[in-house]
Amino acid sequence: MDNGCFSSPRRDFPAGLRVLVVDDDPTWLKILEKMLKKCNYEVTTCCLARHALNLLRERKDGYDIVISDVNMPDMDGFKLLEHVGLEMDLPVIMMSVDGETSRVMKGVQHGACDYLLKPIRMKELRNIWQHVFRKRIHEAREFESFESFESIHLMRNGSELSDDGNLFAVEDVTSTKKRKDADNKHDDKDCLDPSSTKKARVVWSVDLHQKFVKAVNQIGFDKVGPKKILDLMNVPWLTRENVASHLQKYRLYLSRIQKENGHRSSSSGMKHSDFPSKDLESFGFQNSVNKQQNDVPIDSYNFSDGSLQPKNVETKSHEGELKKIVSQSTVAEKGRALTGNIADTNMEESSRIGLNQPFVPLESEANHAVFDCNMPLQYSWSEVPHMQLKEDHKSLVNLGDNFSQLPLHGKQHHIRVDQSQSVASISSTPSITDEEVAACAEPKPLFADYKNDYASSVSSIGNAVVDTFPIQSGSLVMNDQSSESISTSNSVLKTQGYNNLSGISDLEIYQRNLLLDEDLHLYWLQGESYNMNFGLQNIGISEYYDLGLVTEAPTHLYDSADYSVIDQGLFIA
């Protein structure tokens, strides 16, 4: 079960965990090596901190976790910890024969994930994989929030393009092409960079970090912001989000150092949260503006969604945390999306009344759970699915390729599959789906718990379909709003939905929705179909960016259902 969720390429997960042990005491080094080997871990030992740092820098993806002694002659273990935290972002376990609270605290403050007292027991080492696992989960979460940024970011680009080409819907082909070209650049780079592909994160090499620090100093610490830094650094493949997260760490790091010097900096802590939220807001607005034109034809849909969206925006601004925002928005969106679909046939009003209700009852917590499961894996994955969608759009045949290229998580796989299916079968539906997807994304926080569930959900796609309905629960809440805010929000809605796309769960939902649509025999309007295209394109963009992120996928999931599904999709095509 663990293995399934874990993003490591190895199946037998904790076995083969790559551990770097740093201790100036040769006796302990030898004992630890033996112990770790007995745990089936892959061990590298090193008696100098500087040497360890070099090893880590040379092989950026060569280790999963570092165990370091606190007292070493050439470099304080805390310093090593700091470097490892900043440059490679690996979990570090500190060890010492001392259990003084102040020292342990210092270790934790510097980012140690654990502090072991010598003599260290084998059972303690046997368990260290949990830190690697936990870290990945956190990254997944973090990433999600970033992703939503990213997708937003992308959206912006997309909308700019659309401006040139007018409406996405109308100019489908051309705009897609343009985007494709633009995306390909990113795409290539991401693929070329193995570390990004593997880790789903930028590895901050010494050079990169120095560039970063230089940029920060040039701008001035008070005025510094991710975008400015990004511009100054001039590293093409780096994203604003990468910089933002690093800036955040850097600030923590500085504040820690300041604390040690007896100064307290209050500013460092606060700022980051502001940046993201602002961006989001502006973003959302922009999108809305651009998109409105497109949306017009779709009316019923958008409205319902739109109403929801405004809410989201507000929430965002209030809350510094991206995640929360996203989740809220997503929920809202879900509801909308569902409603929207229904509405199409009948119109906005009807959606509220008739469809929502029936669906609502269905929603059960179980559904949510399913979502959540997806979320943890997510970061990379979400994007992948998008990609597929795009591809599907153009030609279903491509699907196979995408698969092989992108190592996806099991979840992703099936998600994709569904998408492809749905796309194929329903040409026009997608617009709704996109929105829905966005909505779905949010459950993140829960995900850890759901992992297990996830597996089961994966096994049977059919279940997922059923789940779609439940998702709509969100819609219940939303309905009121949707009807109210109709006119203004249309554009907003769409964009948001796109943003949200990042989450896999979204995709799933989307799929589900699609399925539902089919089942229900809903009627799509032409205008709606346009929307679809739109959504897809946007999605596609985000995918490209993310490709790098797509990490090692557990292969086994892959094999089972996904393939078959894919095949079906092909057939449909």
Partner 1 sequence: MHSNSFHCSLSLSLYSSTMDRAHSRRHVASMKQSLFDQGYLDEQFIQLEELQDEANPNFVEEIVTLYYRDSSRLISNLENTLERKPLDFNKLDTIMHQFKGSSSSIGAKKVKAECTLFREYCSAGNAEGCRRSFQQMKKEYAALRKKLETYFHLARQAGPLETAFRPK
Pick the piece of the chain touching partner 1 (CB under 8 A) from 96-104, 212-220, 474-482, 543-551. 96-104
Name the one range near partner 1 by CB under 8 A: 50-58, 113-121, 308-316, 513-521.
113-121
Closer CB to partner 1, residue 66 or residue 125? Answer: 125
Based on its alpha-carbon atoms, the radius of gyration of the chain, rounded to whole angstroms, reads 24
Residues 117-156 that bind partner 1 (CB under 8 A): 118-119, 121-122
Which CB sits closer to partner 1, 103 or 249? 103
Contact region with partner 1 (CB under 8 A), list: 27-35, 222-230, 501-509, 563-571: 27-35
Instruction: Look up residue 380 and give its two tokens.
Output: 């990379």
CB of 51 to partner 1, least distance (A): 17
| Least Å from the CB of residue 97 to partner 1 | 4
CA atoms within 13 A of residue 276's CA, in its CB half-sphere: 29
The CB-of-121 to partner 1 minimum distance in angstroms stands at: 7
Q: How far is the CB of 118 from partner 1 (least distance, A)?
A: 5
Q: What is the C-alpha to C-alpha distance for residues 573 and 566, in angstroms, rounded to an integer?
A: 11
Among 71, 255, 345, 560, binds partner 1 (CB under 8 A): 71
- 98 binds partner 1, rule: CB under 8 A: yes
Q: Is 173 in the site for partner 1 (CB under 8 A)?
A: no
As a whole number of angstroms, the longest Cα–Cα distance in the chain is: 77
1: tokens are: 């079960």
> Site for partner 1 (CB under 8 A): which residue of 31, 48, 208, 252?
31
Residue 365: count of CB within 10 angstroms of its CB: 10
Cβ count near 42 (within 10 Å): 15
Task: Tell me which of 96, 312, 382, 551 binds partner 1, using CB under 8 A.
Answer: 96
Phi, psi of 469 (to 5 degrees): -55, -50
Among 97, 105, 213, 397, indicate the residue that binds partner 1 (CB under 8 A): 97
DSSP per-residue string spanning 329-356: HHHHHHHHHHHHHHHHHH-HHHIIIIII
Residue in 30, 59, 185, 259 binding partner 1, rule: CB under 8 A: 30
In the block, residue with structure tokens 């120095």: 210
* All residues at 6 or more sequence positions from 394 whose CB lies less than 8 Å from its CB, including other chains: 176
> Would you call 117 helix, strand, or coil by DSSP?
strand
Using rule CB under 8 A, residue 435 touches partner 1: no
In angstroms, give the least distance from the CB of 99 to partner 1: 12
Q: CA nearest 282: which of 492, 561, 542?
A: 492
Distance (Å, rounded) from C-alpha 138 to C-alpha 141?
Answer: 5
Asked if 28 is part of the footprint of partner 1 (rule: CB under 8 A), the reply reads: yes
Residue with tokens 């010494």: 206
Which residue, 34 or 227, is less far from partner 1 as judged by CB? 34
Helix (H) or strand (E) holding 44: strand 42-46
The alpha helices in 166-205, defined as continuous H runs, are: 172-192, 194-199
CB of 33 to partner 1, least distance (A): 10
Q: What kind and span of H or E run contains 109?
A: helix 101-109
Shortest distance, CB of residue 27 to partner 1, whole angstroms?
4
State the nearest-atom distance from the C-beta of 16 to partner 1, in Å.
18
Our CB check for partner 1 shows the closer of 78 and 283 to be 78
Three-class SS state of 168: coil
Minimal CA–CA distance to 167: which of 297, 51, 64?
Answer: 297
Site size for partner 1 (CB under 8 A) = 19
**25 interacts with partner 1 by CB under 8 A:** yes
Choose, by CB under 8 A, the member of 11, 38, 134, 264 that binds partner 1.
Answer: 38
Residue 51 is which amino acid? H
Closest approach of Cβ 314 to partner 1, in Å? 55
Strand arrangement of the beta sheet that strand 65-69 belongs to? 42-46, 18-22, 65-69, 92-96, 114-117
Any contact of residue 69 with partner 1 (CB under 8 A)?
yes
Q: Chain-centre distance of CA 562, in angstroms?
A: 21
Which of residues 24, 61, 319, 518 is near partner 1 by CB under 8 A? 24
The residue among 119 and 361 lying less far from partner 1, judged by its C-beta, is: 119
| Shortest distance in whole angstroms from residue 116 CB to partner 1 | 12
**H or E element, residue 66:** strand 65-69
Comparing CB distances to partner 1, the nearer of 68 and 495 is 68
C-alpha to C-alpha distance for 258 and 307, rounded to whole angstroms: 46
Contacting residues for 153 by C-beta, under 8 A, at least 6 apart: 239, 240, 241, 283, 545
End-to-end CA distance of the chain: 34
35 makes contact with partner 1 (CB under 8 A): yes
Residue 26 C-beta: closest distance to partner 1, Å: 5
Stretch that binds partner 1, among 116-124, 127-135, 292-300, 429-437 (CB under 8 A): 116-124
32 or 486: CB nearest partner 1: 32
Choose, by CB under 8 A, the member of 11, 12, 26, 364 that binds partner 1.
Answer: 26
Residues found near partner 1 in the complex (CB under 8 A): 24-28, 30-31, 34-35, 38, 69, 71, 96-98, 118-119, 121-122
